[in-house]
């Protein structure tokens, strides 16, 4: 398994961001990793907020950098009172999301990005943060909607939901969840979702099988496969138990409905994509990231 040593957080000084940093620190403490807060001054924009118009651009940018450092120090001071982890600061200039993606790809850490339904700086991060990050980040990533996190001293990563489709990507997502569980005893619940194709009654009659029997056979096969995968993972990752179940329905709907009940994190895989495929949206992972109230880890390899 890979070892995560760097958690890099996209910082824009938006609402609920302190909670996102606290979540990152809680994860870093579990994984024995460092946290880097990264803020990027958007060329031609941020300096206007600190009186750049009609003044030396260099002086205005320096003021903006100092302001960013001060705000990041405030975040670090407050979160450090609860989570004993090492923080670093990274400041840059350019297009915020592009600079963050480039830095994180080079650093090969796990990226933490906000999953805002709305953002005041959306015009500088279009296409939407989630879509662009999923296509351009080569590392593992976590999308967090801070609005739905508890207060920073109550953040927990103790119950993890892992949808499994038996691809190598979903196996990596299960191993990532197991790496957390091996450190803090988190409970993992793995699910596989049957999305049966439409089968005509005539075809079922021809093969002498009714629809419910068809689903039952499919469920047994998937459950056996899921149990085998879990047994392999528990041996490899040296954890005690992973609960599991096979469900039926539209995968995004099932995952989102179940996740709202009792989980702190969803861990999902995502496939690498060709250039043409990167132009398309709407995968199960993307839909879950877009709509989830709880943090979603998108794991490329682990």
Question: Which range in 45-59, 68-82, 103-117 is most confidently predicted, on average pLDDT?
Answer: 68-82
Residue 1 lies inside a defined structural domain of this protein: no
Residue finishing a domain among 154, 183, 208:
154
- Residues 130 and 118: their CA atoms lie apart, in Å, by 12
Q: What tokens appear for 224 in the block?
A: 């056996």
pLDDT score of 125:
41
Q: What is the pLDDT of residue 28?
A: 97
pLDDT of residue 207: 56
Cβ atoms 11, 113 nearer than 8 A: no
- Rounded distance between C-alpha atoms, residue 226 and residue 89, angstroms: 42
Q: Are 20 and 144 in contact (CB under 8 A)?
A: yes
What burial letters (b/e) apply to 195-204, b meaning 16+ CB within 10 Å?
eeeeeeeeee
Q: How far apart are CA 232 and CA 174, in angstroms?
A: 11
Q: What pLDDT is stored for residue 270 in this prediction? A: 82
Count the helices and strands in the chain (H runs, E runs): 9, 10
- Looking at per-residue pLDDT, the higher value among 217 and 70 belongs to 70
Record the tokens describing residue 245, joined without a space: 């179940």
Cα separation of 173 and 247, whole Å? 19
66/204 same-domain check: no
Q: Are 57 and 116 found together in one domain?
A: yes
Instruction: For residues 188 and 270, state if they share a domain.
Output: yes
pLDDT in tens, 215-236: 788 889 999 999 999 998 888 8
| Token pair recorded at residue 151 | 């207060």
Q: Are residues 21 and 88 in the same domain?
A: yes
268, containing H or E segment: strand 265-269
Query: In terms of domains, do 149 and 205 share one?
Result: no
Q: Which of 99, 119, 154 is the last residue of a domain?
A: 154
Residues 103 and 234 in one domain: no
Answer with the one of 154, 185, 209 that is the final residue of a domain. 154
Residue-wise pLDDT for 250-268, tens only, equals 999 999 999 987 899 999 9
Looking at 2-6, 222-226, 267-271, which range is the least confident one?
A: 2-6
Is 167 part of a structural domain of the chain?
yes
Query: What is the model's pTM?
Result: 0.87
Q: What is the domain extent for residue 237?
A: 159-297
In a domain, 302, yes or no: no
- Residue 202 within any structural domain of the chain: yes
Number of domains in the chain: 2
Same domain, 25 and 41: yes
Confidence (pLDDT) at 274: 42
pLDDT of residue 300 exceeding 50, the answer is yes
246 contacts: CB under 8 Å, gap ≥ 6? 191, 192, 193, 194, 219, 222, 223, 226
Residue predicted with more confidence, 288 or 2: 288
What CATH number is given to the structural domain containing 44? 3.40.50.620
* Helix axis angle, 96-107 to 129-136, nearest 10°: 30
Give the list of residues 6+ apart from residue 45 with CB closer than 8 angstroms, or none. Answer: 124
pLDDT band at 39 (very low <50, low <70, confident <90, very high): very high
- Greater confidence (284 vs 22) lies with 22
CA distance 278 to 272: 9
Averaged pLDDT for residues 153-160: 96
């Amino acid at each position: 398994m890979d070892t995560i040593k760097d958690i890099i957080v996209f910082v824009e000084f938006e609402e609920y961001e302190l909670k996102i940093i606290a979540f990152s620190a809680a994860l870093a403490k579990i994984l024995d990793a460092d946290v880097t807060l990264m803020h990027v001054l958007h060329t031609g924009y941020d300096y206007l907020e600190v009186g750049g118009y009609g003044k030396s651009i260099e002086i205005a940018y320096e003021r903006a950098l100092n302001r960013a450092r001060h705000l990041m120090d405030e975040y670090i001071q407050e979160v450090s009172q609860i989570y004993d982890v090492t923080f670093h600061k990274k400041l840059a200039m350019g297009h915020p999301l592009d600079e963050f993606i480039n830095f994180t790809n080079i650093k090969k850490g796990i990226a933490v990005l906000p999953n805002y339904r709305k953002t005041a700086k959306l015009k500088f991060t279009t296409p939407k943060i989630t879509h662009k990050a999923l296509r351009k980040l080569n590392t593992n990533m976590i999308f967090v909607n801070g609005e739905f996190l508890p207060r920073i001293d109550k953040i927990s990563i103790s119950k993890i939901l892992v949808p499994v489709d038996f691809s190598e990507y979903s196996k990596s997502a299960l191993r990532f969840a197991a790496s957390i569980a091996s450190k803090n005893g988190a409970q993992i619940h793995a699910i596989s979702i049957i999305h049966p194709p439409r089968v005509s009654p005539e075809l079922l009659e021809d093969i002498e099988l009714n629809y419910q029997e068809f689903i039952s056979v499919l469920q047994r096969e998937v459950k056996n496969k899921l149990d085998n995968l879990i047994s392999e993972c528990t041996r490899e990752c040296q954890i005690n138990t992973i609960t599991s179940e096979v469900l039926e329905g539209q995968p995004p709907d099932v995952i989102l409905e179940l996740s709202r009940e009792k989980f702190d994190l969803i861990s999902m895989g995502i496939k690498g994509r060709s250039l043409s495929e990167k132009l398309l949206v709407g995968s199960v992972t993307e839909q879950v990231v877009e709509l989830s109230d709880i943090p979603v880890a998108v794991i490329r390899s682990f």
